[in-house]
Structure 1
């Protein structure tokens, strides 16, 4: 089991334990104790407060964990982008196409989609790609839609920008 599933399992175990504890304390509070056991009522009230406070603490920690998870994902994405930029900038002429092909592999593009993606990067229109590949315009449009879906891009400009942005100098 991975680390996250252990955390979730522990969290559920803890929550169930707290619920059972609160039920037991509520039972103690609703059934009046014997005269010599009156201080037990005070202790049960205090323990119930601790249990309810624990729920609050758990919810706060859970929200923080989710926030940290999102920030971690963003940081990993940024690190991957910076690594890609560094690899391209070391040798722009050959590294660019190596990185393009590597990214296409990561997106799991088919060979046909890779060919079309390269033509898109070279600035070909759908009509031009259809002419070069001797396919219908509709086929090329479907294949480019598949490329954009697999790469999580919304269109040609975003797709091209993904590869060209690392080559641009930083703004002053």
Structure 2
């Protein structure tokens, strides 16, 4: 059962209880004009009282649920707004990271050109910097692992670096030099 259906049932129950209460009150007023036994009046007064209490209670439930629904809708609106703001921040962050990444890749490519790397050596050097193994690089390039090792040796020779760690550190040092170190 949906909340709309439940709310309708509560409203209908309230109307029935209120109607019963009003009819009981009208019957009491009419019975007071006639000579009816006191016990009959007590029964009708009890019916009137219980139906009024039930109607009041049902009214309070409906009012409380409406308040909760408005509060819930406000929270949803606030969360939607927060989500939209976070999405915008994420897009801005991704644009900034993409821009910085492209700048850094351009910087790496400039350095590779200074070292006179071939196109293949540039690809292998980037994969080495990313931390891929010789076997992974060979698989990606569709070549033999020994060929990749020979090209890696050429890369280290042309760059005058001692190996993969020094190659990665060369560019990491550039990044760290641009950033402020914690005090």
- TM normalised by structure 1 equals 0.45
Structure with the greater alpha carbon radius of gyration: 2
**Under a length normalisation based on structure 2, what TM-score does the superposition of the two structures give?**
0.42
